[in-house]
Amino acid sequence: MKQQYFNRYGNFIINGEYRTLPFISLSIKNTDIYDVYIKNKTRLDILSQKYYDNPLYEWLILLANPIFSSLEFSIPDNVQIRIPYPLDITLQEYKDKINTFNTLYGV
């Protein structure tokens, strides 16, 4: 069943203004998948489609690989990247951490 897209910006629009998204660290799980990134062939939206059946979760893959500065173009050739998996558990972890952030910082 295809997961409905989660708008990660939704909790950070206040009075019509976008607030900066905090960095959220995703836990390593034994269900995570590892794939090799090949420059000019691999794209994060394609990996998102392959593993999540939706191309719009490339940002989750970047969160799981913070060493790459949140930019796909900074990923070196032939490096192993982590795909946080499964999607529903990963999204719930992200939502829980956003809720904690919002509670702590009053967003």
Per-residue confidence (pLDDT) for residue 2, from 0 to 100? 58
**CA distances (Å), origin 14, targets 18, 84, 106:** 6, 29, 12
What would the pLDDT profile of 70-83 be if each residue is shown by its tens digit? Answer: 788 889 999 999 99
Residue 54 has pLDDT above 90, yes or no: yes
Q: CA-CA distance, 29 to 95, in Å (whole number)?
A: 17
The answer to whether residues 91 and 61 touch, using CB atoms and an 8 Å cutoff, is: no
pTM above 0.75, yes or no: yes
Residue 1 has pLDDT above 60, yes or no: no
* % of the chain surpassing 70 pLDDT: 96
Q: CA-CA distance, 97 to 91, in Å (whole number)?
A: 10
